[in-house]
Chain A
Amino acid sequence: NAGVTQTPKFQVLKTGQSMTLQCAQDMNHNSMYWYRQDPGMGLRLIYYSASEGTTDKGEVPNGYNVSRLNKREFSLRLESAAPSQTSVYFCASRAGGHYEQYFGPGTRLTVT
């Protein structure tokens, strides 16, 4: 039981490049989330998915797209990376009827 896994762990992009951050969970959770974390800003919700086939915007969705590929996987795509997207990205999941979120180890992204 790996919990929530994320790939890659580190990434450096040039401005304008695109990439997809992958997230998978093996706990059979319905809900999945993408957050970004910047110094002094806490965790800000980018997108979330309450169930397979549904996605909704969070607080800071501009510049991102998501895909809930199946119940296990929830990917985050940066179509044209900008330096303002330099951050640590966390994926999380939670089970129906429970308030505990489980987080992946994070992806540290730098855009130059």
Chain B
Amino acid sequence: GQSLEQPSEVTAVEGAIVQINCTYQTSGFYGLSWYQQHDGGAPTFLSYNALDGLEETGRFSSFLSRSDSYGYLLLQELQMKDSASYFCAVPTPMNRDDKIIFGKGTRLHILP
């Protein structure tokens, strides 16, 4: 089976840096994705890591350690608009069991 664990809530201050962790247990692992969801909105894709290391996209970075079954999303220079829920997700490849399992999400609160 597959399961993902992430903190339910994280609080940070505007302008600071915050890290949202995700640990996973999977029967087969191909990569880790991150999604953002604002209140009342739909999830939107942020990043995907297939290999170990850090991937940077603007203020957001995502890290993966396959040996530790662990990844994190790093948000820098926090802005109030970053207040949202963040989900890690594990996809399976298209030619096999074609589905994506999501963690329960981390609610990010940003204080002014």
B-contact 0/1 string along A32-66, CB 8 Å cutoff: 01010000111111001010000010110000000
Q: What CA separation (Å) do A106 and B102 show in the bound complex?
A: 17
CB of A44 to closest CB in B, whole Å: 8
Q: Does A74 contact B (CB under 8 A)?
A: no
Do B98 and A48 touch across chains, with their CB atoms under 8 A apart? yes
A39 to B68, CA, bound (A): 29
Which B residues touch A42, using CB under 8 A? 87, 102-105
- Counting CB contacts under 8 A, is B8 at the interface? yes
Does A40 lie within 8 Å of B43, measured CB to CB? no
Chain B residue nearest to A47 (CB atoms) is B99
The range of chain A's interface size is 20 to 34
**With A50-B94, A99-B91 as contacts: A43 and B43 at CB distance below 8 Å:** yes
**A43-B102, A99-B31 are known contacts. Are A31 and B94 too (CB-CB below 8 A)?**
yes
Shortest Cβ distance from B27 into chain A, in angstroms?
15
Whether the Cβ atoms of B94 and A103 lie closer than 8 Å is no
A21 to B42, CA, bound (A): 16
- Whole-angstrom CA separation of A33 from B35 in the bound complex: 16
CA–CA, A105 and B87, complex, Å = 17
Residue of A nearest to B31 (CB): A99
* Residues of chain A contacted by B8 (CB below 8 angstroms): 40
Which of A31, A41, A58 meets B104, CB within 8 Å?
A41
User: Is B44 on the interface with A (CB-CB < 8 A)?
Assistant: yes
Residue in B8, B91, B98, B103 with the greatest tally of chain A CB atoms within 10 Å = B98
Contacts of B42 in A (CB 8 A): 90, 103-106
Among residues of B, the one whose C-beta sits closest to the C-beta of A103 is B42
Residue of A nearest to B32 (CB): A99
Q: Can you show 18 pairs from A to B with CB atoms below 8 A apart? A: A31-B94, A42-B104, A43-B43, A43-B102, A43-B105, A44-B102, A45-B100, A50-B94, A56-B99, A58-B99, A90-B43, A92-B43, A101-B35, A103-B42, A103-B43, A104-B42, A105-B41, A105-B42
A: which residues have CB within 8 A of B? 30-31, 33, 35, 40-45, 48, 50, 56, 58-59, 90, 92, 94, 96-97, 99-106
Lowest 10 A-B CB distances belong to which pairs? Answer: A42-B104, A50-B98, A103-B42, A43-B102, A100-B45, A99-B91, A99-B48, A42-B105, A42-B102, A96-B94
